[in-house]
A and B are shown apart, each in its own frame.
Chain A
Amino acid sequence: MKSRLVRAPSDTIAGQTIQGGDGAAALRAAPTIEAIGVARPSLLKRLPSSRVAMVGIGIILFWVILALLAPVLPIPSPTAQDYLSMAHPGPSWHHLLGVDPLGRDTLSRLIWGARIVLVVAPVSVVVAYIVGCTMGLVAGYYPGFVDGAISRLSDVILSFPVVVLYVVLIAAVGASALNIVVAVVVASAPAISRIVRGLTLQLVRQDFVAAAHLRRESALFVMVVEVLPNCRGPLITDFCLRLGYTVITIGTLGFLGLGIPPPAPDWGGMVQQATPMLTVYPEMALFPVLALVSLVLGFNLLADGLNELSRAD
């Protein structure tokens, strides 16, 4: 039972980094022992049967479409200052959601800001997944020294309180979109690696992997073609949760003054600039907050729906 003692806290850490993601449950729902040859409609095809997931997709699509249409929508430039409107910065006909403390149109900044967050968050998570999956597959496939080295490194990084890690990293290397991607990869790849490693350890004992070895397939082939596709169940849920969580992270960094540098319309930065005005014009901070919460909620609802679906198997 020693392994359980060691594993229990690590599972909860993985669950914790993705906050709200029932990490342990996601692992339990792993489709590790599937009947061979029984075709089952894929998770994505059954998606419409989950109302929660569809609501999530709806919210995400709303922001994606707005972000795509940003150049053609009849909105002012996100960096243009309207000095006259600063006398009455609340919502008006000229500025539907009002202006920020520098007289820039809030609606326009929200829509253009969606473009930033909808590029930076997915890119960060995808890169984190590439790094994390590689680490996890290699660690799970080569027990012993390689596994030990990767797991210890993951342990060290995962023992940092996440926000502390982000603050120290970004403050040291400077705030930019690229550095945010790097920081997200450093902070989340170990957690992804841990999930993939656990799944790989179970999968390499299965018959189809033994069959692949018998066919003399290369290690790379076994890892990428045989093992990785069978990890997808828990990973799809984790991917959505992590997307939402990364949106939160980018917002938090912006709020702390470590986000995408001004004058780019960064949602978290907008909240930060509006917070000193909170007692006078609370809506200045509330609109970006609502935008951010709605997008995160979209990703979390999608993750929740996917989780329910995969658990129903």
Chain B
Amino acid sequence: MVAFLIRRSSALVLTLVAASFLVFAVTQFSPTNVARETLGAYALPEQVNLLYSKLQLGDPLVVRYVRWAEVLLGVRKDPLDNPALGLHVEEPHGGRFFGNFGYSTLFRVPVNEIIWDRLGNTAILAGIAFAIIVPLSMLLGILAGMQPDSFVDRTLSVASITMTSMPEYAIGVILAALFAVWLKVLPGTSPLATGTGWPLPSQYVLPVAVLVLYDSGYVARMVRASMIDVLGRPFVRTAILKGLPRRRVILRHALRNAMIAPFTVILLQVNWLIGGVVVTETVFAYPGFGRMLLQASLFGDISLIEAATLIALVIAIGTQLLSDVGYWLLDPQVRG
């Protein structure tokens, strides 16, 4: 187990390094752009050139990447955090600390001051959605898998193929038109002030509904397939033939084995959900992580893009690791 964990964790770190380099290469492909984006649209060409040379942006990509990684790891001070530059960038935690993501040119604050708030907001939204998706899709999947081609099964497969054909924003627009415009029972957006949080719990209903509708059909189908597979195996036939009640066969024998495959699928949904929240938050103007990433990308806020992608990757790869460990614990065959 320990060897397995070490091997997987080191693979995680390697993937993170490679992925962060890719993101760095894509966003900093043109170094003049970095200086230009940092100073904004109204800076003079001389100012851009000055910052370009002060930040040594002419260095090769790999050198700049190492410098960025050193700032992140707390070995080096953020080059922007230098009174001589006159950019008024100041890091309240001091110059060198682990996890220094630099300065956001879009929000005009250090990245760390904005990103964790937004991540928290998203965690609330995604957490509620997840807490509904998992039990709902398991219940539907088990019911459908117990009797393939029954009414429940047919309904589920039609519903899930329709839902997977709908992008999140399509579901969002349809739901908002239905409930916020025609029926007028739910608010369609969040308040304009981003710092004040959400005063009305009912404002969570539509965004959560979008994520739930978007995701549960897929998970339910996975649970269904796994359930059908397990119910056809010899040990279930043995259990039925030795006269156990059907209830007991399903609850005690089939269910545990049927959960092994969907378990990984459910955890990998976290990765999918991160993408889903980008769109859902944009539809409902939710002050979360996904919308922040989109704003940063559209604005060209390089530090914030890099920080947000890195965090999204840590979450995505972390859940992958978790699902591997869970798989290992659930399935004795893998351990043997």
Contact = CB atoms under 8 A, between A and B. Distances in A.
Interface string B4-32: 00000000000100110011001101000
B62 to A, nearest CB: 17
B141 interface: no
A163 B275 contact: yes
B188 A278 contact: yes
Contacts of A162: 272, 275
A275 B173 contact: yes
Contact of A156 (B18, B166, B275): B18
B102 interface: no
A251 B167 contact: yes
Given A161-B312, A167-B278, A278 B177 contact: yes
Nearest to B328: A5
Contacts of B177: 278, 282, 285-286
A156 B15 contact: yes
A8 B166 contact: no
Given A4-B334, A161-B312, A16 B165 contact: no
B56 interface: no
Contacts of B182: 282
B169 A271 contact: yes
B135 to A, nearest CB: 20
B272 A16 contact: yes
B225 interface: yes
Chain A's interface size range is 35 or more
Contacts of A146: none
Contacts of A126: none
A161 B23 contact: no
A271 B168 CA distance: 12
Given A167-B278, A171-B298, A159 B324 contact: no
Contacts of A13: 268, 271
A297 B264 contact: no
Interface in A136-174: 152, 155-157, 159-164, 167-173
Given A8-B327, A13-B268, A255 B169 contact: yes
A16 B181 contact: no
B218 interface: yes
Given A1-B334, A9-B324, A255-B169, A168 B180 contact: no
Nearest to B160: A20
A300 interface: yes
Contact of B320 (A159, A164, A255): A159
B180 A172 contact: no
A1 B336 contact: yes
Interface of A: 1-2, 4-5, 8-9, 12-13, 15-16, 19-20, 22, 24-25, 152, 155-157, 159-164, 167-173, 244, 248, 251-252, 255-258, 268, 271, 275, 278-279, 282, 285-286, 289, 292-293, 296-297, 300-301, 304
6 contacts: A12-B264, A20-B221, A160-B309, A268-B169, A275-B283, A278-B180
Closest 7 CB pairs of A and B: A20-B164, A163-B275, A171-B297, A282-B177, A161-B274, A297-B165, A296-B165
